[in-house]
Amino acid sequence: MVQPKEDFVFCALGGLGEIGMNAALYGFGPPAKREWILVDCGISFAGDEVPGVDLVLPDLSFIEGQRNRLKAVIITHAHEDHIGALMELWPRLGEPTVYATQFAAGLFDIRRQNNSGGKKVPVKIMKPGDHLALGSFDVEVIAVAHSIPESTALAIRTPLGTVLHTGDWKIDVTPYVGWATDEARLRELGREGVLAMVCDSTNVMREGISPSESIVAQTLAEIIGESKGRVAVTTFASNVARIRAVAEAAKITGREVIAVGRAMDRVIQVATECGYLEGLPEFRTSETYGYLPRDKVVALLTGSQGEPRAALARIAEDQHPDVTLSPGDKVILSSRTIPGNEREVGRIVNSLVQQGVEVITDRTALVHVSGHPRRGELEQMYEWVKPRLAIPAHGEALHLHEHKKLALSLGVPQVLTPKNGDLVRFAPDKPAIIDQLAHGRIYKDGEILVPSSDPAISERRKLSFGGVVSISIAMTQQGELTGEPAFAVTGIPQLTRNGRLFEDIIEEAAFAVIENLPRAKRRDADFVENAVERAVRAAVNEQWGKKPICHVQIVMV
């Protein structure tokens, strides 16, 4: 019998057409017996469309069903959109081997320790230059610069060719902390021959080259040096280069650094263990803040995205137990506001300004640079690697479209823009999308994981839009009312536009439908419940223009 030929395939289960929830599968072998590796396992943050849900995880049910052929999970770097779902989903995958750098492994383990239900995940440490032998795959680890230490690209080799998975990267020859992008190795890879490149698209809309972290460090030093009062800096807690820059500026100007926020504490602990904060004075805790003169303190704060429970928001609302700001103090927002968070960040900025605090953002000074490549950097990467196929990744639809146009303009022979779930064949034969694999989203709802199809999610949307009416009615076996119905109304205005109580509208609708039912129908509790529900929803809709969720309980006595 003729055996199916081997192929080399790729499928993103998250991270295409969106920024976040990165999870990429690479497969090799006969279609029915492919071996797989999973690159990254990240989260995204829920929006208003899923009330009550904080985190969104990729649905990995496809690879869960083939977990006996999953050779490993490889984490490119420690940002939550690349590693945040691993703790929850690793047991479902059959507890495969996990590879990560020392910094990523350290952050992951601290996060697990702070999660009482988190199971210990053994992590094998990898570093640039390592080759991971994983079944049919040889995976080479390559250093790249990013906004978190120890970010990596992966050269994934198979008998049918090599694919470069860039991860998140930029070209920064002076990254201040961590690795620079290894141009020499990437050029060598290009000379060896690259079948395809799966590449970051986040900043493809921006021209030129991203400024270096070292320039941001100089700007922060200047602002802190000329300040007369307190200075507070908020940034992504994972940006160790920014943390070190602030600490060095404080040291030069004779200030103490106060770290405020659990996420900041965790990163500082791991960065210290990895040697990235060597030579700096020990950071102080928030309890010491009030004992230091105003011109002798710099506070490092969490909350750059306006998170209501984070340090910056609590300080802006004067609700932090240890840290306060006064007129003449400065707050530096050394971060980019992620789309969707503008309102929350704006509210905090306005509150600080109203208190007389000077707020400095990347609109007024070079206090933040992105960790992702602009067009000029993408052009350099394509020149170095010379892939025969480009697959834009890590971006929304517009980013992927613009990346495709750029790659074609640079002479890349073929560009594919698959969506999440599309199975791409790299080789043999011409690259193409050949199938669709199961994919989707899982919601972290409180402490449990639920599929996006769970009725609770759609019901919660309805609750947030139209309110709830609960009615309990007692009736005899002969279909007669035995007392007044009991009502509970939540989320509905008290009065109609004509000034009538909505409770009166609801009560009248319930009585009217019961009185008009034939006696035989009144003895059918299910029929009465449905009839009252329809009547009440219609009556409220007529007065309000919205249909509430209506729960009716008929008790036969």
pLDDT at 453: 83
| Assigned domain for 457 exists | no
422, 509: one domain:
no
Structure tokens at 183: 């141009």
**Domain end position, chosen among 403, 420, 451:** 451
400, 547: one domain:
no
70, 182: one domain:
yes
18, 162: one domain:
yes
252, 167: one domain:
no
* Residue from 38, 86, 98 nearest 66 by CA: 38
CA–CA distance, 385 with 393 (Å, rounded to integer): 16
Instruction: Give me the residues paired with residue 298 across strands.
Output: 231, 257
| Assigned domain for 111 exists | yes
CA–CA distance, 440 with 463 (Å, rounded to integer): 24
E strands within 136-269?
137-144, 151-158, 161-165, 196-200, 231-234, 256-260
**Domain end position, chosen among 320, 336, 360:** 360
| Assigned domain for 461 exists | no
| Assigned domain for 2 exists | no
Query: Residue 344 belongs to a domain with what CATH number?
Result: 3.40.50.10710
Q: Are 171 and 380 in contact (CB under 8 A)?
A: yes
CA–CA distance, 477 with 18 (Å, rounded to integer): 58
CA–CA distance, 548 with 542 (Å, rounded to integer): 11
CA–CA distance, 431 with 34 (Å, rounded to integer): 17
Structure tokens at 46: 């829920």
412-426 pLDDT per residue, tens: 999 999 999 999 999
Single-letter amino acid code for the residue at 36: W
DSSP 296: G
411, 522: one domain:
no
Ordered DSSP codes for 400-441: HHHHHHHHHHTT-SEE----TTEEEEEESSS-EEEEE----E
Structure tokens at 141: 């680890």
pLDDT at 454: 82
Nearby residues of 329 by Cβ (< 8 Å), 6 or more positions away: 229, 230, 231, 232, 294, 357, 358
Instruction: Give me the residues paired with residue 74 across strands.
Output: 39, 99
245, 165: one domain:
no
End-to-end Cα spacing for the chain: 72
31, 94: one domain:
yes
CA–CA distance, 26 with 110 (Å, rounded to integer): 29
Element (DSSP H or E) covering residue 314: helix 311-316
* Residue from 383, 366, 382 nearest 212 by CA: 366
Query: Residue 383 belongs to a domain with what CATH number?
Result: 3.60.15.10
Instruction: Give me the residues paired with residue 137 across strands.
Output: 134
393, 332: one domain:
no
Structure tokens at 526: 């299910």
| Assigned domain for 41 exists | yes
By the 10 Å C-beta count (0-12 exposed, 13-18 middle, 19+ buried), 351 is classed as middle
Query: Domains in the chain: how many in total?
Result: 3
34, 117: one domain:
yes
- Phi, psi (rounded to 5 degrees) for 47: -105, -170
Other beta carbons within 10 Å of 379: 16
- Phi, psi (rounded to 5 degrees) for 230: -70, 150
CA–CA distance, 549 with 557 (Å, rounded to integer): 26
Query: Residue 507 belongs to a domain with what CATH number?
Result: 3.10.20.580
495: containing domain:
467-556
**Domain end position, chosen among 318, 340, 360:** 360
pLDDT at 2: 38
Residue ranges in the chain whose pLDDT is less than 50: 1-3
| Assigned domain for 92 exists | yes
408, 491: one domain:
no
Length of the chain: 557
Tell me the Ramachandran region of residue 337: left when phi exceeds 0, alpha when psi lies from -120 to 50, beta otherwise: beta
* Residue from 364, 266, 260 nearest 316 by CA: 260
CA–CA distance, 84 with 46 (Å, rounded to integer): 14
| Assigned domain for 416 exists | yes
Single-letter amino acid code for the residue at 510: A
259, 332: one domain:
yes
| Assigned domain for 251 exists | yes
